Amino acid sequence: MAQTEHFDVVIVGAGLSGVGAGVHLGKRCPEKSYVILENREAIGGTWDLFRYPGIRSDSDMFTLGYAFKPWTEQKAIADGPSIWNYVNETAREYGVDRHIRFKHKVTRAYWSSDQARWTVEAEHDGAVKRFTANFVLMAAGYYNYEQGYLPDWEGTESFKGEIIHPQHWPEEFDYAGKRVVIIGSGATAVTLAPAMTDKAAHVTMLQRSPTYMISMPAEDAAANWARRHLPQGFAYDLTRLRKILFQQFFFRLARSRPEKVKQRLLELIREQVGPDYDMETHFTPRYNPWEQRLCLVPDNDMFEAVRDGKVSIATDTIERFTESGLKLASGQELEADVIVTATGLNLRMLGGTEVIVDGEKVETGERYTYKGAMLSDVPNLAFVFGYTNASWTLRADLISQYVCRLINYLDEYDLASATPRLSGEPLEERPFADFSSGYFQRAAHLLPKQTTKAPWKQNQSYAHDIMDLRYGAIEDGVLEFKRAPAPPRAPAKEAREPVTA
Residue 435 has pLDDT above 90, yes or no: no
Angle at 31 between CA 29 and CA 36, to 5 degrees: 70
DSSP SS3 for 181: strand
Residue 73 has pLDDT above 60, yes or no: yes
Residue 13 — φ and ψ, nearest 5°? 110, 130
Closest by alpha carbon to 21, among 35, 11, 7? Answer: 11
**Averaged over 77-106, what is the pLDDT?**
97
Axis crossing angle, helix 221-229 with helix 232-256, rounded to the nearest 10: 160
What is the model's pLDDT at position 20?
97
- Would you say 116 and 257 are in contact if contact means Cβ atoms under 8 Å apart? no
- The pLDDT mean for the chain works out to 92
- Would you say 160 and 404 are in contact if contact means Cβ atoms under 8 Å apart? no
**Averaged over 326-333, what is the pLDDT?**
95
- Would you say 119 and 112 are in contact if contact means Cβ atoms under 8 Å apart? yes
CA neighbours within 13 Å on the CB side: how many for 339? 26
Residue 344 has pLDDT above 90, yes or no: no
What is the model's pLDDT at position 234?
95
What is the model's pLDDT at position 443?
76
- Would you say 223 and 235 are in contact if contact means Cβ atoms under 8 Å apart? yes
Q: Is 438 left (phi over 0), alpha (psi -120 to 50) or beta?
A: alpha
- Structure confidence at residue 496 as a pLDDT band (50, 70, 90): very low
What is the model's pLDDT at position 497?
46
Angle at 256 between CA 255 and CA 262, to 5 degrees: 65
- For residues 427 and 370, what is the distance between their CA atoms, to the nearest angstrom? 14
**Averaged over 446-462, what is the pLDDT?**
88
Closest by alpha carbon to 159, among 333, 329, 344? Answer: 333
- Would you say 385 and 460 are in contact if contact means Cβ atoms under 8 Å apart? no
H helical segments located in 230-357: 232-256, 258-273, 279-282, 301-307
What is the model's pLDDT at position 498?
45
Mention every residue, 6+ apart, whose C-beta is less than 8 A from residue 261: 250, 253, 254, 289
What is the model's pLDDT at position 499?
42
Closest by alpha carbon to 438, among 183, 253, 264, 251? Answer: 183
- Would you say 470 and 401 are in contact if contact means Cβ atoms under 8 Å apart? yes
Give the rounded percent of residues in the chain with a pLDDT score beyond 70: 95
- For residues 111 and 72, what is the distance between their CA atoms, to the nearest angstrom? 42
What is the model's pLDDT at position 433?
72
What is the model's pLDDT at position 490?
55
Task: Name beta bridge partners: 127.
Answer: 124
- For residues 313 and 281, what is the distance between their CA atoms, to the nearest angstrom? 10
What is the model's pLDDT at position 425?
75
Q: What is the DSSP string of 447-485?
A: SPBEESSTTS-----HHHHIIIIISS-S--SSEEEEPPP
Mention every residue, 6+ apart, whose C-beta is less than 8 A from residue 403: 21, 24, 135, 137, 373, 382
What is the model's pLDDT at position 440?
72
How far does the chain reach from its first CA to its final CA, in angstroms?
A: 51
- Would you say 56 and 86 are in contact if contact means Cβ atoms under 8 Å apart? no
188 or 291: whose pLDDT is higher? 188
- Would you say 78 and 47 are in contact if contact means Cβ atoms under 8 Å apart? no
What is the model's pLDDT at position 387?
87
- Would you say 232 and 315 are in contact if contact means Cβ atoms under 8 Å apart? no
Mention every residue, 6+ apart, whose C-beta is less than 8 A from residue 352: 107, 140, 144
Give 160-183 pLDDT, tens digit per residue. Answer: 999 999 999 998 899 999 999 999
**Averaged over 395-418, what is the pLDDT?**
97
**Averaged over 387-408, what is the pLDDT?**
94
DSSP SS3 for 357: strand
DSSP conformation class of 335 = E
Q: Long-range pairs for 494-497 at CB < 8 Å and ≥24 separation? A: none
Element (DSSP H or E) covering residue 422: none
Element (DSSP H or E) covering residue 138: strand 127-138
Residue type for position 34:
Y
Poorest-confidence range of 112-116, 254-258, 315-319, 435-439? 435-439
What is the model's pLDDT at position 495?
43
H helical segments located in 29-95: 46-49, 61-64, 80-93
For residue 189, how many other CB atoms are within 10 A of its CB?
23
**Averaged over 328-335, what is the pLDDT?**
95
- For residues 173 and 180, what is the distance between their CA atoms, to the nearest angstrom? 13
H helical segments located in 29-160: 46-49, 61-64, 80-93
- Would you say 164 and 338 are in contact if contact means Cβ atoms under 8 Å apart? yes
What is the 3-state composition of the chain as percent helix, strand, coil, each rounded to the nearest 5?
A: 30, 25, 45
Give 4-35 pLDDT, tens digit per residue. Answer: 999 999 999 999 999 999 999 999 999 999 99
What is the model's pLDDT at position 447?
87
Element (DSSP H or E) covering residue 69: none
